[in-house]
Structure 1
Amino acid sequence: MKCRIVVTDDELITRMDLSEILKEEGYDVVGQASDGFDAVELCRKLRPDLVLMDVKMPILDGIKASKVIINEELALSVVLLTAYSGIEFLEQAKEVGVMGYIVKPVSSQNLIPTIEIAVAKGRLIKKIKEDTEKLKDQLEARKSIDRAKGILMDHNRITDKEAYNLIRKLSMEKHASMKNIANAIIMNHVE
């Protein structure tokens, strides 16, 4: 699958050069922006895999734009490009959570490996977040089912297994998840 990239730099020539390198390497440059504000808006529309972001730009600088993109999860990864290698930029980059930092001039030798690692890390983080959400959902479902079983056991004088089977049966009959059935049972018995 081709990696989808937004290139952001206030210099047109730099954007064109970067886009050309990326296209030659088989990447899909889906958008270009001349400032951080436009980069954020492009990411909201296009949801790219990666954003190459210049640091020093008008309207909204690259660090602030990266923070918005990362916080809103508008792209898998952000890699900063800068002519400045000062420690203050590096610290800011780490704080906002970018996946890479390249000091200009950029060449395919330093750009491509950085992109590949940044996208791989971005995909890994996305998968971890998805897995965490699934586990959280499963845990919540389990808690609801256990609580509903307890209610059914008390009210109907049935065993744990019978309560579980009743919830499962209702789930199949109603074509609803066991969690939804359990939550309905809980709601019905809350005083």
Structure 2
Amino acid sequence: MPTKVVVAEDEAIIRMDLRELLQEEGYEVVAECGRGDEAVRLVRELRPDVALLDIKMPGMDGISAAREISVDRLAAVVLVTAFSQRELIEEASDAGVHGYVVKPFERHDLVPAIEVAISRFRSEAMLVDQVASAEGRLEARKVIDRAKGILMDAHGMSEQDSYGFIQKTAMKDRRQMRDVAQDVIDGGLAPAESA
């Protein structure tokens, strides 16, 4: 599948040149516009792989648009602009921009910037997923440990037996161990007392 791109550039001729260049390179331009606020809307709606944004646009400048796109991790962002001042580059970096190309540019400037931006965006997304997964496992571990403590204190079970009770109940009921442990904590689940 071709890489999908939204182009936001307020100068129609440059926008047309960008679209043609991107299409010649095998990219699919799914939308184009001349306003930053519209670019954000299009990216939210169409979910492209990358958004190419100019800095100076009506409605919302490219850096503000990049910030909105990046904070929600909607797409990789490449700024294509005539401005190369260090403070703008720093501001763009703080806004979550993945690539920065200065006009006038050549084809061999744009394509690598897009590919590196997409790669960085995907790496960031994987890292965010890994952190969320690790946090979820840690939270589940805390709930299970708390439930084990309750089973040990209230029912005189060993740590191994309390863990086994949670694990076997989860397998039998086809539920997550965390959910079973939460039932133990809430008082809705206890081992059957042997007479």
Does residue 186 of structure 2 align to residue 187 of structure 1?
yes
State the SS of the aligned residue for 1:123: helix
Which residue number corresponds to residue 95 of structure 2?
96
Which residue number corresponds to residue 48 of structure 1?
48
Amino acid aligned to 1:71: V
Which residue number corresponds to residue 136 of structure 2?
137
Which residue number corresponds to residue 161 of structure 2?
162
Amino acid aligned to 1:106: F
Q: Whose Rg is larger? A: 2
Deviations 1:29-48 (A, max 9, x none): 11112110000001111121
Paired positions, count: 188
CA distance in 1, matches of 2:187, 2:31: 52
State the SS of the aligned residue for 1:51: strand
The offset of 1:186, in angstroms, is: 1.2
Deviations 1:133-173 (A, max 9, x none): 11111111111111111111111111111111110111122
Which residue number corresponds to residue 192 of structure 2?
none
State the SS of the aligned residue for 1:185: helix
CA distance in 1, matches of 2:143, 2:99: 42
State the SS of the aligned residue for 1:106: coil
Please show how residues 9-158 of structure 1 align to structure 2 within 5 Å.
Answer: 9-75=9-75, 77-158=76-157
Unaligned 5+ runs, structure 2:
189-195
CA distance in 1, matches of 2:145, 2:87: 52
The offset of 1:174, in angstroms, is: 2.0
The normalised TM-score by structure 2 is 0.92
Identical columns (%) = 44
CA distance in 1, matches of 2:27, 2:157: 61
Give every structure 1 segment of 4 or more consecutive aligned residues whose post-TM-superposition deviation is greater than 2 Å.
Answer: none
